[in-house]
A and B are shown apart, each in its own frame.
Chain A
Amino acid sequence: MRSLVIAEHSAGQLTAGTRSAVTAALALGGETDLLVLGGADAPEVARQAALVQGLDRVLLVQDALFEKTLAENTQPLITSLVCEGYTHVFADASSMGRNLLPRVAASLDVGMLSDVTAIVSADTFQRPIYAGNAIATVQSLDPIKLLTVRASAFAQALTQDKPCEVIAVEGGQSSTHARFVSEQLTTSARPDLSSARVVVSGGRGMQAKDNFALIERVADKLGGAVGASRAAVDSGFAPNDLQVGQTGKIVAPELYIAAGISGAIQHLAGMSGSKVIVAINQDAEAPIAQVADYLLVADLFEALPALEKAL
């Protein structure tokens, strides 16, 4: 049994989701390698990655080609690495992992399992289906198992003092089919939504974009991230990448505060794994009340400033 974890990094740091994917891989008990792909900053990321507890080695591929990871460019490299004897491949179920791994699976003629939340054995895994309303136990029949894992279901791998070996690997070919044009990233000083300890989310009940400042101030007091429901995103109150739910981010923080969110099935799919859920809503009958540990029936335009003050 040998596992390869595909690392993701941003701003020179391994993502929290990568550390969770390592934990999932280590649960199998086999040899575990981490693959770091990137441009100029990759060696520093690899040096840092070598300190992740439990890894056997870090494979480093540095090439300007991987500054922006297009699946078309990374797939040939990953496929050839996997063919060198890996039985399991793990990636965070992030937009990058979900974009890449199915291509690798098709190239190897194996199936893949998305968004795994538990490792039952080397070939059997659990994953949620139907917006989290059922948990399926699935056995893979393929010689190579490809998995994206739900980061919120696995703890982040810890850091140790003594680094493991870092091996430089060559590879990569530029695709003639796809070309990176540009990107626009939302910059925020707040913690990353997917791994934040506290998330404060607003929904349609926020009524206007400017009112989201009330959410932001409570989030800042708690050192948390800001989230939003689909209704809030569609109404332009918050950017797309803050959407929590089946089609947005899946979060499982210690504390999730939902303000002005009714709690549609699709939203619950993204946050019902939170440890403590607080709902602030004027409607005591809203579906969110059924999953909330604490329900405050109140006008959020009074409750949020009061909460900010009380913290």
Chain B
Amino acid sequence: MKVLVAVKRAIDPNVKVRVKADGSDVELNGVKMALNPFCEIAVEEAIRLKEKGLASEVVVVSVGSPAAQEQLRTALALGADRALLVETSAVLEPLNVAKYLSKVIDQEKPQLILFGKQAIDQENNQVGQMVAQLIGCGQATYASAVNHVDGQWVVEREVDGGSQVVALTVPAVVTCDLRLNQPRYASLPNIMKAKKKPLQIIAADTLGASVKEHARLLGVVPPPVRKAGITVASVAELVDKLKNVAGVI
């Protein structure tokens, strides 16, 4: 069966972002970009399903600028079979991304659609759920284990207070949590091979999705700065400060 994985080009998780001086957005010029860590987990899961013989083909898809080809090549180097880029220069609003992806899903007809649970830049945590609604299928968000049992996807989810197991008919949407797996590294030979794997570019407006602007970014500010703290010499001094200065115990 075919597995589709949606991936996003996002800021490298180890970069500390800075807000632009004019407060219009964060500074992304010259900043290191990477495959969103949760998407990396989704790609890894798809490849493991292929290695288990459950998936026959792993297709990765991204919506975004031409630069996202770099992240698609990364996914190909990790083991995906082919890649699709829905190319657009527009701001990536979750619902619009979900609409483009649903059109791709209509064409590709995968049996499982994997997402990261959220992108670490905008932290929306929405696209997977929106796609599930748009294509009318079940969803298992925050997955920590994905199994295929009796023709259904049985997924363990991380929820507040513990974990939950749900069973979904095929096709299904699953969004991946950190605990699902440990992504592998791409080897040099695989990186070389990935350059020859098919990467198809689709102009977003040829998909016939009815997208529109839903929200406007008015500005961005840095978070409030905490005032510098003090170093205490002993536990006794710490307890004294917490009791008598901070008044929190």
Contact = CB atoms under 8 A, between A and B. Distances in A.
B207 interface: no
A105 interface: yes
A311 B231 CA distance: 19
Contact of B216 (A98, A141, A284): A141
A99 B129 contact: yes
A131 B230 CA distance: 25
Majority secondary structure, A binding face: mixed
B203 interface: no
Contacts of B105: none
Contacts of A298: 235
A304 to B, nearest CB: 9
A230 B162 CA distance: 16
| A-B CB proximity, top 10 nearest | A111-B214, A177-B138, A178-B138, A102-B129, A185-B162, A106-B133, A102-B126, A181-B165, A106-B130, A306-B235
Contacts, number: 245
A222 interface: yes
Interface of B: 11, 13-14, 16-17, 19, 26, 93-95, 98, 117-118, 120-134, 136-142, 144, 154, 157-169, 172, 177-179, 213-223, 226, 229-232, 234-236, 238-239, 241-242, 246, 248-249
Interface in A80-114: 94-96, 98-103, 105-107, 109-114
B232 A296 contact: yes
Most B Cβ at <10 Å: residue of A94, A112, A142, A272: A112
Nearest to A176: B169
A190 to B, nearest CB: 12
B130 A105 contact: yes
A140 interface: yes
A130 interface: yes
B246 A293 contact: yes
